[in-house]
Structure 1
Amino acid sequence: MEARILTDEQEIIEAKKLAYEVLVKEQKWEIKPDNPSGLHIKDLPQGKVLWDDYDTVATRLGVFEENTLVGCLRICGRLNGKFELEHYHSLLDFIHKDELAVEITRIAVWKKYRFSMVILLLFRLTYESLLEKGGYAWGTGFWPNPGKLYVNKFGATRHEIPFRYYSDDPQEVYLYYINGYDRPYISKMISEFNLLLARKEKIRG
């Protein structure tokens, strides 16, 4: 398997298709028509994709098995001075003030690969980017699943106050963040990812 930053237009469309398949079709995301992110489903010749305003400032990471995209995530900076979350809820002050901060969204992995190396490869690549650029990386998610994974395996810190994107959302989410300014910690986590990946590779044999 190979993890890399997606630059080819067709690969980016495949990532948007995967996000649609996992987040909308499987996880039943409800997309409100008046949402402030411009989030919507778009019909392309290649199929249905998940699309929003933040695609214009997004960097996508993907994992491939041979030539097939099997997992992806999206890293976004600010658009018109705001992160996507800030259209729905206030952000922690120290992240809000961080000019290098990035928001991690749209994590999507095909079901058959969820206990494979894919998510480890995605997060190792994320940490390698943080080691190069610095800044806080953060995102939101449920607790305990997948939140415990983010904290226990991927080295994120959970902010203890949950919230909802919309008042009628059935479940609260938490904010998770990684301090990209702590370079020794980032390097340590990359080493841990390498060990975990080596073990999984050995098991695959």
Structure 2
Amino acid sequence: MVFAHDTAGALRSAVELVNGVEPPVTLATEADLAAFYRRHGYTGRRDGTETELAEVLALAPRLLTLLLAARDDVAPIVNAMLAEAGAVPRLVRHEHEDWHLHAIADDAPLADRIAVETALAMIDVVRSGESSRLGVCADDDCAGVVLDLSRNRSRRYCSTACTNRNAQAAHRARATGSSPRPR
């Protein structure tokens, strides 16, 4: 395992949020946000309002900047996010999850909790020298974020759709004897 379970989970959540606001949009309704909340195992406050959805969606550009920042540029972004939230790290354990970090009150707005959890995760990314695990999708027509948690660092695409599209293009190119689209 590259990162602790809470770090990997926060990174997956942030990547899904960032990728979910770009076409094809997968995070656009309160129901989408409720499913996102459950899928990523969030606990604590969940308002289920349009305001909460808007706050979470508004966070996406900032998370994109953080996730794709050069290693030495991450610190000021992380420090600002933690300071703005008044973060105070503490160890917690939930019924179905072992010890992990929280740094903001459980009743804080969901967008603030996502921001703080992502900032904490990026601390681990920087400290472990694993910034190369985050990047942009190798599909020429996609700007999605890729999180590569594989052992061999082989993930190049942000989604199965991009992977399949590029595999099909390569197959068609081999079948016709031409070369695939240039990168």
Structure with larger RCO (C-alpha < 8 A, sep 6+):
2
TM over 0.5: no
Normalising by structure 2, we get a TM-score of: 0.28
Where is the helix percentage greater, Structure 1 or Structure 2?
A: 2
